[in-house]
């Protein structure tokens, strides 16, 4: 099954880096993700058909209101995940990255299960290794950074102890 998934990813990944996908993806995918999550009670995500996916529950940097964002993630050992603020290669950082910078304690939902996490910005000296880790899962993903003209923010999410 893993071999089939890798083959499908390698065929679809180049399409996600096209100009057309970068124009349509930000418009169509978020409402589609919300609809599927609503219908499944939060247990399914469209993006999870190809890659590990989560819902990030963060606090708005300016508003203080809870914000939910559907993201791909890369597993990073027990209780840890990496998320990238690629924003479909747009020229500005996505809002959720500002939220994590202002309020690093957040939570994630994976398969409908909510987990408290702390977000840490990946340091400059770790970036290449982390990008290599991400690209093992989704080939060519760093191209979003090159296309956007900005340094994509990478965050490590680490599970907080239960209180």
Model pLDDT, residue 50: 66
Please give the Cα distance from 106 to 60 (Å, whole number): 11
Give the domain range for residue 85: 2-159
CATH number at residue 126: 2.30.110.10
Q: What is the pTM of this model?
A: 0.80
Model pLDDT, residue 53: 85
Model pLDDT, residue 154: 98
Q: Which long-range contacts (CB under 8 A, 24 or more apart) does 95-102 make?
A: 95/60, 95/61, 95/67, 96/56, 96/58, 96/67, 96/69, 96/71, 97/153, 97/155, 98/61, 99/58, 99/59, 99/60, 99/61, 99/67, 100/56, 100/58, 100/155, 101/61, 101/153, 102/59, 102/61
Which ranges of the chain have pLDDT less than 50?
none
The Cβ of residue 66 has, within 10 Å, a number of other Cβ atoms equal to: 12
Please give the Cα distance from 66 to 26 (Å, whole number): 20
Question: Per the structure, how many domains does the chain have?
Answer: 1
Q: Which two tokens stand for residue 82?
A: 């990496």
């Amino acid at each position: 099954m893993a071999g089939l998934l890798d083959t499908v990813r390698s065929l679809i990944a180049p399409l996600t880096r096209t100009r057309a996908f970068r124009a349509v993806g930000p418009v169509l995918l978020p409402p589609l993700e919300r609809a599927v999550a609503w219908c499944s009670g939060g247990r399914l995500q469209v993006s999870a058909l190809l890659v590990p996916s989560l819902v990030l529950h963060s606090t708005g940097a300016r508003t203080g209101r809870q914000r939910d964002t559907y993201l791909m993630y890369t597993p990073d050992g027990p209780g840890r995940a990496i998320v990238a603020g690629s924003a479909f290669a747009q020229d500005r950082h996505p809002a959720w990255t500002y939220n994590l910078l202002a309020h690093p304690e957040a939570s994630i939902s994976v398969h409908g299960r909510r987990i408290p996490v702390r977000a840490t910005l990946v340091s400059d000296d770790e970036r290449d290794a982390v990008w290599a880790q991400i690209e093992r899962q989704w080939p060519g993903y760093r191209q979003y950074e090159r296309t956007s003209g900005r340094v994509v923010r990478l965050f490590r999410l680490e599970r907080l102890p239960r209180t």
